[in-house]
Amino acid sequence: MDCEPPSTLAEPTLPLDDDIVGVWRWHAFGVVAVAAVAVPSLWAAVPSQHVPAWIRGAATAAYLTGLAGGALFAWIWPERRHRVFRYAVLDAGLVIRRGWLWQTVEVVPFTRVQSVDTSTGPLLRSAGLARVHVHTAAAGASPVIPGLDVDSARRLVAEITARAGADDAA
């Protein structure tokens, strides 16, 4: 649920764990590495006698430029993403602010929460982190808090679940 926060809504201030930057970098460099291998493999499938030399040279330059740009992006983007991602559990609900160029503020009222879970993959587990996924009744409005230490993730799940359950009992 993307929306402008009401003027009375407090700004979310809780950051993600700093270790998520390293996880995101590993992931991003993995994508660059796959591209670094896949593109030449595909290019090798094209018979070189049918491709003019200037096209081969331009393609090589574009490939090397793309790899350098991808590596630079993989280094810079995770830090920027971490710097702008904030969340908070407020009386109004869960508030998440994210986005580097296009900023989004999501407000998830506790009455909309259907379930909350945590998940980890190999990279997250190696860093001692977990992802919290809040499932809501609205399609496309199930926010994820991507990088919390495992204990913080468990506490957040317990707090959101308790508040969502308290609304059901009322």
Lowest-confidence range among 11-25, 39-53, 148-162? 39-53
Q: Tell me if residue 84 falls in helix, strand or coil.
A: helix
**Among the listed residues 50, 54, 22, 55, the one whose alpha carbon sits nearest the alpha carbon of residue 127:** 22
pTM: 0.81
Which H or E element spans position 62?
A: helix 53-84
Q: For the purposes of burial, counting CB atoms within 10 Å of the CB of 44, is it exposed (0-12), middle (13-18) or buried (19 or more)?
A: exposed
- Categorize the per-residue pLDDT at 3 as very low, low, confident or very high, splitting at 50, 70 and 90: low
Lowest-confidence range among 15-19, 55-59, 77-81? 55-59
What percent of the chain lies above the pLDDT cut of 70?
Answer: 92
pLDDT given for residue 170 in this prediction: 44
CA–CA–CA angle 145, 147, 151 (5° rounding)? 100
At 87-96, the pLDDT tens digits run 999 988 999 9
At 114-128, the pLDDT tens digits run 999 999 999 999 999
Distance CA 153, CA 130 (A): 6
Structural domain 86-169, CATH architecture: Roll (2.30)
pLDDT given for residue 169 in this prediction: 46
Tally of CB atoms within 10 A around 63: 15
pLDDT given for residue 46 in this prediction: 76
Distance CA 111, CA 104 (A): 21
- Categorize the per-residue pLDDT at 17 as very low, low, confident or very high, splitting at 50, 70 and 90: very high
pLDDT given for residue 66 in this prediction: 93
Q: Tell me if residue 134 falls in helix, strand or coil.
A: strand
Name the residue with higher pLDDT: 15 or 165.
15
Segment 101-116 shows an average pLDDT of 90
pLDDT given for residue 138 in this prediction: 77
Segment 119-142 shows an average pLDDT of 90
> Is there a contact between 127 and 18 (Cβ–Cβ < 8 Å)?
no
Interacting residues of 45 by C-beta distance below 8 A, sequence separation 6+? none
CA 74 to chain centre: 13
> Is there a contact between 56 and 46 (Cβ–Cβ < 8 Å)?
no
> Is there a contact between 129 and 140 (Cβ–Cβ < 8 Å)?
no
